[in-house]
Structure formats: structure tokens, C-alpha cells
């Protein structure tokens, strides 16, 4: 009985497999009905007397009002020494408040109605958006008008935007792919090009509130603004509402310069950016791209898909699947309306196969010019584009925003439809012709990001032209001031530091310090508010330290024992300190008052240079710079001339929330422990923005310290 059941099951399975096989043989013969004709909603255009252009699309499906603003402004208009001005202006435009409401009041108002108003400025255009329920249309338009017309650029929000930008700069070398994309833009457009340049600490620090005010006053005028609106409203009524808030905005009669042209010469060159902490390379091979208005743009769309557009493309099949050279690979021939795009062949590969990956990408470019696409490749090359074409119209937002953009660039309203019709007609011969006309495998620029010590072929041996090494080190934003070191100011600096040491307890007492334990509370300032954090720390001179901070019930450790150490890298997870972590710890220790005073007479690691009188947080002080043997400033000491006590320091360093800047540590509430006098309160700011307040409740000098503190903690 059981045997019969098994035989029946096997037979049924065989019949099923046979049916599947027969079906598979005829899948290509399946006929699909023609898609319904694409109905594109009509958008009404209205131009106000002041030149502002409106694009209006009624959509009563949901009780929502939405608006999208295109502003003819961009980072291409900012001076080279203040890169970041445009993007930060775009941020503070919204966060910095208006003459009617503060930024925080706008936040609360919009949160109360479940709405949003946002602003930004990119390379070649600025933008704003409104999203509210229809019943709050007037409020949404009023907030938008206030932000665009009457921003106040609150100083605190300006500083917060600068802190955010510095934080991004400090992390920009974390991801090798980000490095590759950033540097390849420089390789193609030029490092100073508006299409490739980026912020540095120095350019961000140079931006002021006055710069933002001037930038806004120069470029924000109604003739430079387009507004697209869609949602549940009556067209005539919404036009009147917009006029209510914008019609009295007078023209500025300012002509915005066109996007700069790109000067490019085809050549062969290898660029190498060293990143030694990785075991794989990011490889980019290519040259300048094209424009969307080029006659063969549609041919290139299909060519690009076949070359490296994704699964099934030649790059994917050959470089990743067949040769196994890449974790990820793609090819992209991009185009823009205002300036040429980029032609890129990319692979992320093992360091030991870097040269092979470069060669294989080049081979596939050459194949595009000699091997016509097969029927399957042509179908794949077109279907990816054509089958997703309908999604260009699946929301009202896409329709009206695209029309607004086309109108600005004087492109026909049906530009996208024309493009689709051209793609449908592309032949295999057209693809080969496009490859011959647009790909230049004999004139490629190669960018390598990785550790060349592990490369299978060294950059200069790849036969791809001369080699240029790119320095991706993040430049310090510290303004280097010439410090004249003379016998006179050295003598005075040493004398003042000696008086300061005496005022704090004397060199002998500082030299006697072998260990110090501190308990206290650090209140950290963040965009979300201030947060008090209990902190315990123990230091054993010269090179052991232990700190534990308790945050939301979690202990965060930072431990150093000479040239090694450990730190909390995630809640409940301990990792080893990096070389950079150890270096930063040593730099911090060199600024510690105990270290400074205890080394005053015993082979000091610094020279004390008198700088003159000045102020610290409004207090009159005398400045003494501590300079190392290379004449690099370690820190600047502020001494109260009345008491000879050190009341603060100023130095270049990293912020707690990321980024670098000038950090000022202001000392107060001095207390005595173990024969020395030290500050109980330290307020730290970076470029004027408060970072933290450390308040010490207990200090123990030369107490018992367990050696176990300086080992890896168990979680």
C-alpha cells in the first residue's frame, strides 16, 4: 500500500516537471496585450507680474496640499574661499527663523499640524517644499513665503550648521566608495571645478551670518523662483492665495550666471589615493560623459544598460560572475542638461586583483565598439528602461516637478516621451555606433583607492599613463599665525609659566603626582538639548588612563595602557583603540596642566612663548603659547595677570559631535587637592559653540589604583 502511494507521488511529480518543461519551451511565445495609452495630466502655467512662475496641478484624490520650489541659485555662485556657504544657507534659511517666527516656533507649529516645510541648496539649484493637509494650505504658503522672503539667519543656527558641516568633513574618508566617487569627479572636472570642489574646515570656518544674509539678498528674487503646487484645491483659488503671499515681492533684476562650461581633454592617466586600512580596492575607469540633448542620447541609454547597467550586463557577467574579480561592479555613462556627465567603469575588488579588474573593465569597453549586442542583450538593454517608463508618471509630484525643470531649461514638455520613442527604435548597429563615438578605451583616466602594497600590478606598471598620487588627508582649518620666537618672548613666557605653576601649588607638588582620580558630571550640549553624564576617570602617569561614562544606563569605556587601549564602540561592545585614538590621547595629555607644570623644569617637551595680552571669554588675560620642537603650537595658555592662575586654554582639536575647530576651555571654581590647585569647572566651546561643561565633585591625588583598571573590560 505504502509502495503504491510512493509510486503515485513520483508519477505526479514527473508529470508536473514535464508540464513545467513544456511551459518553459513556450514562454517566449506568450503574447501580452498592449499597455494602455499613458495619460499625462495637464499642468497649468501662470506667471506673476514679478516674474515668479507657477505650475499648477489639481489632484483631489487626497486632502493634501503640496508645493515644490525651484530656486535659480547654487553652490557654483559661492566664492572658492567660502565653499559651503550655499548649502549652509539652504539649511539655515529654514532653521534660522524669520522676522515673524523663530525656527523653533516654526518647528512646533508644523509639528502641531503634521506638516513640513524644508529648504536646501545644491550645486546648480536650490529647493523648498511644503507638505500639509489642505485645510492648512494658507499656513503652509505663509511659512514658505516668510522663509523665502524674510529669513533672519539666527546666529546659533548658523553655528549649528557649521558644526554639522565640520562633522561631515571629519567622516568623509571613512568609506572608500565615497572617496572614489569624490576624487573621480576631481579627476574628470578638475579639483577646483564647481562640479567637484567640496567643503574644507577652512572654507566652512570662513562663512559668517553676514555672508548668508548677503547671499540671500543677492540671489533670492521672484524672477529666479518657480513654484509647483499640486493637491486638493481649485486652480483659480490657489493662484490667488499664492499672489497674496508673493505678488508684492519686487523684482531684483539680477541675472544669475549660467553653469560654467567644462574644459576637458581626453588622455591616459592613473591616479592613486592611498588607504592602507582596507583589503580591497575601489577602481574607477573612465572619462567625461555627455549631455541629455546630444543627438545619440537614446542610443547611449541602451548602450549604458548593456555595458554595465546591472544584472546581465557585460561588466557584471564578465568582471563579477565569470572572472570573480569584483564584489560589486557597474558601468555608467551619465548625462546632464547643463554640463557633461561622467563615463565610469567601476569595480570593488580584492587588492590582489586590482590590475586584473582594470584590464577587464577596459576590455569590456573595447567590446562595446566591436561586438554588436545580441538579441537578448538588446531586449534587456531596452526593457529595463521601457518597462519602468510608466513610473515616471506614477505620482503628480514627478509630473509637475519634471515639467518645471524642463521649462527652466527650455526643453519641450514631451522631452521624456520623445526620449522613450527614440529608445524603442534603437538598433544593435546604433549601440555600436554610440560606443565608437562616445567611449574612449584608449584615453582613460584610472582612479585607484586602496593599499598599493598589496596590488597585483603597481599603478606605474599598468600601462595606463603617468601616475599621480592623490593626498586625501583632511587639511586642518587652523589659521597658521607666524609666531616670532625670540630670546625675549621665550624668557617672558617661561617666567609667566613658572609664576602660574607656583600659583597652582608649585612644580615640586606637581612632580610628586603619580596618579589622579576624578569624579564628576559632564553636561554635553547637542542639537537635542543638554545631557548630564556621570564620569569617573583615573590617570597613572605617564601613560595609563581609565574613563567610564554612564549614559542611559550603559557604561562607555575609554582605556589606555601605553601604546594600546580599548573603547566602547557600541553598547555592550568593546573594541581596540586605533593608532589615531592613541595619538589623540597623547595630544590631549600634552595639554594637561599636571603634565605642563610637572615638566616645567625637567626637560620640558615644549617652549613657552609669550604672545601678549588679550581676552578669554571677556576676561583680560596674558597668552603664552606652548610650542613643540617642530615649532608647532600645542596649546595657548591664558593666565590671569591678577592671580597668575591659568584660566583657560585655546587649541585646535576635534569636537565631541564630530568635526574640527578652535576649542576654548575656560577654567573656574578652583579647589585644592594633594597640594595643588586645579579648576573644578571647565566649559568647552568650539568656534563659539558650547560643547560641554565638566564639573568635578571629587579629586584624589596618589590614591590606591588597581592595575586591572587598565586592561580590557569584560562586558
Nearest to 318 by CA among 285, 365, 282, 280: 365
Which class does domain 487-710 fall in? mainly beta
The DSSP H or E segment spanning 369 is: helix 354-370
Residues 6 or more apart whose Cβ sits within 8 Å of residue 112 = none
The DSSP H or E segment spanning 697 is: strand 689-701
With H, G, I as helix, E, B as strand and everything else as coil, classify residue 260.
Answer: coil
pLDDT (tens digit per residue) in 151-197: 999 998 998 899 889 889 988 999 999 999 999 999 999 999 999 99
Q: What are phi and psi of 317, to 5 degrees?
A: -65, -40
User: pLDDT value at position 20?
Assistant: 39
Nearest to 486 by CA among 494, 478, 474: 494
User: pLDDT value at position 28?
Assistant: 47
Q: Locate 504 and state its grid cell.
A: 597652582
Q: Locate 346 and state its grid cell.
A: 567601476
What's the Cα-to-Cα distance from 666 to each of 613, 622, 645, 702, rounded to whole Å?
A: 16, 14, 12, 26
The CATH code for residues 269-399+409-470 is 3.30.830.10
What are the helix (H) ranges across 30-154? 85-95, 103-113, 137-149
With H, G, I as helix, E, B as strand and everything else as coil, classify residue 534.
Answer: strand
User: pLDDT value at position 13?
Assistant: 39
Rounded Cα gap, residues 283 and 107, in angstroms: 44
pLDDT (tens digit per residue) in 306-362: 999 878 899 999 888 888 888 889 999 999 999 999 999 999 999 999 999 999 999
Beta-bridged to residue 615, according to DSSP, are 620
- Angle among Cα 500, 516, 561 to the nearest 5 degrees reads 115
Residues of the chain short of pLDDT 70, as ranges, are 1-39, 479-482, 657-658, 715
Buried b (16+ CB within 10 A) or exposed e, 289-303: bbebebebbbbbbbb
Q: What are phi and psi of 179, to 5 degrees?
A: -60, -45
Residue in the structure block whose three cell numbers are 596590488: 455
Alpha-carbon torsion angle 392, 395, 396, 398, nearest 10:
-40
Residue extents of the structural domains in the chain = 44-172+199-246, 269-399+409-470, 487-710
Residue in the structure block whose three cell numbers are 528674487: 221
Alpha-carbon torsion angle 101, 248, 125, 395, nearest 10:
90
Rounded Cα gap, residues 182 and 191, in angstroms: 10
Say if 44-172+199-246 and 269-399+409-470 have the same CATH topology. yes
Superfamily the domain 44-172+199-246 falls into: Metalloenzyme, LuxS/M16 peptidase-like (3.30.830.10)
The DSSP H or E segment spanning 57 is: strand 53-58
Amino acid at each position: 500500500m505504502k509502495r503504491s502511494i510512493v509510486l503515485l507521488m513520483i508519477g505526479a511529480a514527473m508529470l508536473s516537471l514535464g508540464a513545467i518543461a513544456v511551459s518553459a519551451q513556450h514562454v517566449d511565445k506568450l503574447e501580452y496585450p498592449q499597455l494602455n495609452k499613458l495619460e499625462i495630466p495637464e499642468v497649468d502655467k501662470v506667471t506673476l507680474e514679478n516674474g515668479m512662475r507657477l505650475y499648477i496641478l489639481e489632484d483631489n484624490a487626497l486632502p493634501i496640499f503640496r508645493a515644490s520650489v525651484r530656486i535659480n541659485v547654487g553652490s557654483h555662485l559661492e566664492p572658492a574661499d567660502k565653499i559651503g556657504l550655499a548649502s549652509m544657507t539652504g539649511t539655515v534659511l529654514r532653521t534660522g527663523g524669520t522676522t515673524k517666527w523663530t525656527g523653533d516656533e516654526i518647528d512646533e507649529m508644523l509639528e502641531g499640524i503634521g506638516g513640513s516645510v524644508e529648504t536646501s541648496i545644491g550645486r546648480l539649484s536650490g529647493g523648498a517644499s511644503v507638505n500639509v493637509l489642505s485645510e492648512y494650505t494658507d499656513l503652509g504658503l505663509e511659512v514658505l513665503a516668510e522663509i523665502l522672503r524674510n529669513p533672519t539667519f539666527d546666529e546659533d543656527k548658523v553655528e549649528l550648521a557649521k558644526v554639522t558641516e565640520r562633522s561631515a568633513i571629519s567622516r568623509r574618508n571613512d568609506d572608500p566608495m565615497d572617496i572614489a566617487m569624490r576624487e573621480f569627479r576631481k579627476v574628470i572636472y578638475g579639483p577646483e571645478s564647481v562640479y567637484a570642489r567640496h567643503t574644507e574646515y577652512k572654507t566652512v570656518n570662513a562663512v559668517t551670518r553676514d555672508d548668508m544674509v548677503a547671499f540671500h539678498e543677492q540671489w533670492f528674487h521672484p524672477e529666479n523662483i518657480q513654484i509647483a503646487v499640486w493637491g486638493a484645491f481649485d486652480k483659480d483659488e490657489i493662484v490667488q492665495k499664492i499672489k497674496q503671499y508673493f505678488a508684492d515681492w519686487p523684482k531684483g533684476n539680477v541675472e544669475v550666471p549660467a553653469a560654467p562650461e567644462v574644459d576637458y581633454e581626453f588622455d591616459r592617466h592613473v591616479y592613486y589615493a592611498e588607504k592602507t586600512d582596507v583589503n580591497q580596492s575601489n577602481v574607477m575607469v573612465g572619462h567625461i560623459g555627455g549631455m541629455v540633448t546630444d543627438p545619440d542620447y537614446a542610443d547611449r541609454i541602451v548602450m549604458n544598460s548593456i555595458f554595465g547597467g546591472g544584472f546581465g550586463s557585460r561588466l557584471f557577467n564578465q568582471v563579477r560572475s565569470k572572472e570573480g574579480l569584483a564584489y560589486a561592479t557597474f558601468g555608467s555613462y551619465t548625462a546632464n542638461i547643463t554640463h557633461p556627465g561622467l563615463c565610469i567603469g567601476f569595480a570593488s575588488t580584492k587588492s590582489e586583483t586590482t590590475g586584473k579588474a582594470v584590464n577587464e573593465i577596459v576590455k569590456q569597453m573595447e567590446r562595446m565598439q566591436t561586438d554588436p549586442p545580441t538579441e537578448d542583450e538588446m531586449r534587456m538593454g531596452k526593457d529595463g528602461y521601457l518597462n519602468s517608463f510608466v513610473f515616471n508618471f506614477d505620482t503628480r509630484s514627478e509630473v509637475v516637478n519634471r515639467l518645471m525643470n524642463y521649462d527652466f531649461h527650455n526643453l519641450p514638455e514631451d522631452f521624456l516621451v520623445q526620449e522613450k520613442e527614440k529608445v524603442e527604435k534603437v538598433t544593435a548597429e546604433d549601440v555600436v555606433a554610440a560606443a565608437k563615438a562616445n567611449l574612449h578605451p584608449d584615453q582613460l583616466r584610472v582612479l585607484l583607492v586602496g593599499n598599493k602594497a598589496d596590488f597585483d600590478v603597481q599603478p606605474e606598471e599598468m600601462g595606463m599613463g603617468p601616475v599621480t598620487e592623490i593626498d586625501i588627508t583632511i587639511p586642518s582649518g587652523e589659521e597658521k599665525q607666524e609666531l616670532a620666537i625670540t630670546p625675549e618672548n621665550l624668557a617672558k613666557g617661561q617666567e609667566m609659566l613658572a609664576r602660574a605653576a607656583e600659583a597652582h601649588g608649585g612644580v615640586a607638588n606637581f612632580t610628586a603626582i603619580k596618579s589622579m582620580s576624578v569624579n564628576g558630571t559632564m553636561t554635553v550640549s547637542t542639537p537635542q538639548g543638554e545631557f548630564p553624564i556621570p564620569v569617573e576617570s583615573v590617570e597613572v602617569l605617564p601613560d595609563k588612563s581609565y574613563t567610564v561614562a554612564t549614559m542611559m544606563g550603559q557604561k562607555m569605556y575609554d582605556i589606555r595602557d601605553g601604546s594600546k587601549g580599548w573603547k566602547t564602540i557600541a553598547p555592550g561592545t568593546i573594541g581596540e583603540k586605533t593608532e589615531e585614538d592613541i595619538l589623540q590621547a597623547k595630544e590631549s595629555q600634552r595639554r594637561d596642566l599636571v603634565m605642563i607644570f610637572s615638566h616645567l623644569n625637567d626637560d620640558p617637551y615644549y617652549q613657552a612663548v609669550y604672545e601678549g595680552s588679550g581676552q578669554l571669554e571677556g576676561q583680560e588675560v596674558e597668552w603664552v603659547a606652548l610650542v613643540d620642537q617642530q615649532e608647532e603650537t600645542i596649546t595657548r595658555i591664558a593666565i590671569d595677570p591678577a592671580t597668575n592662575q591659568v584660566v583657560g586654554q585655546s587649541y585646535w582639536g576635534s569636537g565631541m559631535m564630530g568635526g574640527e575647530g578652535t576649542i576654548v576651555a575656560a577654567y573656574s571654581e578652583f579647589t585644592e587637592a594633594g597640594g595643588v590647585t586645579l579648576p573644578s569647572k571647565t566649559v568647552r566651546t568650539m568656534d563659539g559653540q558650547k560643547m560641554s561643561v565638566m564639573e568635578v565633585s571629587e579629586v584624589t591625588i596618589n590614591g590606591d589604583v588597581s592595575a586591572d583598571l587598565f586592561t580590557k573590560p569584560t562586558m
